[in-house]
Structure 1
Amino acid sequence: MKKVLTSFVCLFAGISASPSFAQAPEPLSIVVFGAPSLGAFLPPIIKAQKLDEKNGLAIKFEERTPDAYTAQFNSGEFQLGGSAALLTVGLADVRGVKVTYLFNLFDFWGAVVTSRPDIKELKDLEGKELAAAKGTTNYVMFDWFARQLGADTGKFSVINTATPGLIGYAMANRAAGVQLWEPAYTTLISKKPETRTIDIKIADSWKKFTGSHNIPYLGVAAHIGWAEKNKALIPKLFAAYKEAAEWVAAHPEEASKVISPRGSADDQKAVAALIKANDRLGMNVKWASDVRKEINSVYSAGKAIAFLPSDPSPATIYEAAGK
C-alpha cells in the first residue's frame, strides 16, 4: 500500500510540473505606432524571438497612427503605450492624465530632407511646404532645434501626414522639405540616395542647452493606476524590451529582415547598417529613473517653445524598484 501511495504522489508531482499546469503568461495590450516608426522597431523582434513569453507575458501590440495613438492612450483605452514620446507624456500629465514614463527605448534623432536646389538651410523653408507628422514629439523636438538655428517655424506651411506617408512625400518631391526620422530616413536614402539632408545641428544645440549629449525621446509609458497595480509585471516588460534590443544589436542582418519583412534586399541592408552604427537610431534602453536629469532637460525644451505650459509632475518619471 505504501508503494502504491508513493507512486501516486510521484505521478501527481509529475503532472503538476507538466506544461499544462505551468502558470499562464500574463496578457498585456500595448498600443504602438505603425511601421515605419521607432515604436514598431522592437515589437516584431519581441514576438519573433518569443521574448514576451520568456518573461511570463503574452503581449499584443496594437498599431495606430500618431493622432489615434495619443487619443486612445490618453483616454485610458490602452493602459500601456509603446510609442511613448516623452514630451507627449509630459503634456498628458499637465492636462490631468496621470501617466508615467516607465523606460526609454530610443534617444532623439530627426532630420529634414529635400530634393529642391533652393533649400539649403532651415530658414529657406519659411513660406514653403514642409511635410511632417505634426502630431508627433519628433516634430515638436525638431521645432525646438529649428528655432535654435534661427528659423521661424511658424512660417512653415506644414502638411500634416501620418508617419508612413512621409517617405512618399520625399520620393515624389511633393513638398519643399520633409521632416522625418528613423527608420523611415534610412529607407528613404536607400531608395533615393540623391536626397539631401539639412543639418539641424542636434548635438551642438543640445550640448549648449544642457551640457549633455543624451536626449531621451521615446519609450514605454503606462497609466499610473495600472503601474501601481502591476508593479511585478513592469520588470518583466523591461526585460523583454531590453533583451530585444540586445538581440537586434547582436544580429543586425537577421533583425533587419524581421523589422522590414516587406522591404527589398537593399532596404534590409540599410536597416542592418543603421543598427550597427546606432548614431541615428539611438537605441538606448534604460529605466526612466536612470535618465531623470536628461528627461527634465527635455521637459525644459518643451517649455521653451510653449509646447508644455508647465512642469510635468515628477511622477511622470517612473522610479524602478531598487533605484
Structure 2
Amino acid sequence: MSWNPAPRRNVLRRTAAIGASTLLALAGVTACGSDGGGDSTTVKIVAFQAPSLGAFLPAVIEERELDAEHGLDLQFTYATPDNYNSEFGAGHYDVGGSAALLSEGLRTERGADVTYLFNLFDFYGTVVTSDPDIESLTDLPGHTLAAATGTTNYAMFAWFAQDIGLDLNEVETQNQTTAGLSTMAQTGRADATQLWEPAYSSLLASVSDIRTVDLDYDAWESEFGTGDIPYLGVAAQTAWVDEHPDEVQSLYDTYKAAADWVLDNPEEAGALIAKTIPGGDAEVIQKLIEDNDERLRLRVAPASDVTEGIRAVFEAGIQTGYLADQPPDSVIFDGLQ
C-alpha cells in the first residue's frame, strides 16, 4: 500500500547536540499526528552527534523525507555519548538511534526494559598514532590513549585489547567526546587515539603521517565461531514497542530504505552526509560507502536475524567484565518482517 504523506513544512528539523538537562526538557512521549495536523506519527529519537554512525542515516532520512514515505515524522535530537546513555537509559526517549549492543545489555542489568529492534552497522574500530614507538596494541602501556570511553566501540575495543594481552589499566586513557577524537589525533595531544568510522576515514584524508594499529578480527571468529559482529542499531523502550507495533515496522522500513539508497547512490549520499560532519569531505564519505564491507559495514537487519552474532557480542562483554551475564532473550526483538 502506498503512502501519501501530508505536505511537510520547509523547516530544518535537525536538533543541535545539547546537554542532558535540555534533552530532558525536549523529550516527549511519542504522539500520534504531526505538528502540522497530518496523518504521520511523530517519533522522537535521540542519537549520537556527528561524526558518528548513529547520525549517518538520519541525515539521509531527513533530507529525502523517507520517514514521511513510511507514515512517520522522525524527530532527531543529537547528544554526546554520556548524555545519550543517560537520557535513553532513564526512559526519557522512547527510541535510541545509537543503540550499541553492549550498552543495551548493560541497561537490562540495571533494570531498564529495552529491546534491540534492528542492526544498522557491524563493528569496526581501530587505533591510530603518529608515535613511532607504538606499532601494536601491546606497545600502549605507559602511553596516553584518547578514547570515547562512554561508547560501546571502546568497550568492544577492550575485548580485542584483552585478547592480545593488553592491560588497559596500564594505559593512561583520556576520555573525549566522539567529535573530539579526531582533534586529539590531529594535534597529537595523545600518543594514540581509538576511533571508528566515519571519523577514521576523514582523519586519514587530512593527516598524512598517521598510522593505523589494526585489531585482530580473526581472533573474534576463533573465539566465538562466527565472524558476525553486529554492533550498532536502533533500540526502544519495550513498553513503547508493545504499544506501537506498526510504528516499529515503519521505523525499520524507513532505515532500510535509507541504507539501500546510500549503497545505491554513494556519490550523492557522500555529499549529503558530509554536510553534517564538521570538516566532512564528500569524496571520503563516498569512498567509505563504496568500500562498505571494509570499514563502514552498513547492514540493516532485524535483530532476530543476527541472534548468533548478538550473543557473541554479549559473551565478549562478559569476558571483559562489562556485563555480568547474558541479557534476557527479550533484548533481541523478534517481530520485524
- Aligned: 1:292 with 2:323: no
Are the equivalent residues in 2 in contact too, given 1:107–1:284 (CA < 8 A)?
yes
Contact kept? 1:149, 1:200, Cα under 8 Å: no
1:153: Cα distance to partner? Answer: 1.4
CA separation of 1:298 and 1:273: change in aligned 2, threshold 3 A? same
Q: How many residues align?
A: 305
Greater CA radius of gyration, 1 or 2? 1
Number of the residue aligned with 1:62: 77
Structure 1 pair 263–19 and aligned structure 2 pair: CA distance change class (3 A) = closer
Unmatched 5+ residue regions in structure 1?
1-16
Contact 1:31 1:61 in 2 (8 A): yes
| Separation of aligned partners in 1, 2:58 and 2:38 | 23
SS in 2 for 1:164: helix
| 1:52 and 2:67 aligned | yes
1:20-51: per-residue Cα shift (whole Å, max 9, x none)?
A: 9x961100000000000000000010011110
The alignment's C-alpha RMSD in Å is 1.9
Residue of structure 2 equivalent to 1:275 = 289
Of 239, 244, 247, 1:225 maps to 239
Q: Does the 8 Å contact 1:108/1:217 carry over to 2?
A: yes
Per-residue displacement from partner, 1:36-89 (whole Å, max 9, x unpaired)? 000000001001111000000000000000000000001111110000000000
Could you tell me which of 173, 191, 195 is aligned with 2:206? Answer: 191
What residue number does 1:40 align with? 55
Shift of 1:263: 6.2
Give distance in 1, aligned partners of 2:245 and 2:277.
38
Partners of 2:45 and 2:314 in 1: CA distance: 24
Aligned counterpart for 1:216 among listed residues 209, 230, 233: 230
Superposition map of 1:37-116 within 5 A? 37-116=52-131
Shift of 1:193: 2.9
Per the TM alignment, residue 321 of structure 1 is displaced from its structure 2 partner at its CA by 4.3
Q: Could you say what secondary structure the match of 2:281 adopts?
A: helix
3-state SS of the aligned residue for 1:42?
Answer: helix
Tell me what 1:8 maps to: none
Task: Name 2:134's counterpart in structure 1.
Answer: 119
Q: Normalised by the size of structure 2, how large is the TM-score? A: 0.87
User: 1:173 corresponds to which residue?
Assistant: 188
> For residue 244 of structure 1, what is the amino acid of its counterpart?
A
Which one of the candidate residues 301, 307, 317 is aligned to 2:332?
317
Q: 1:150 to 1:39 in 2, by over 3 A?
A: same
Give the distance between the partners of 1:69 and 1:179, measured in 2 at CA.
20
SS in 2 for 1:233: helix
Alpha-carbon spacing, 1:266–1:73, altered in 2? closer, same or farther (3 Å): closer
What's the % identity of the aligned pairs?
Answer: 44
Letter in 2 for 1:300: E
- Check 1:263–1:94 CA distance in 2 against 1; reply closer, same or farther (3 A cut): closer
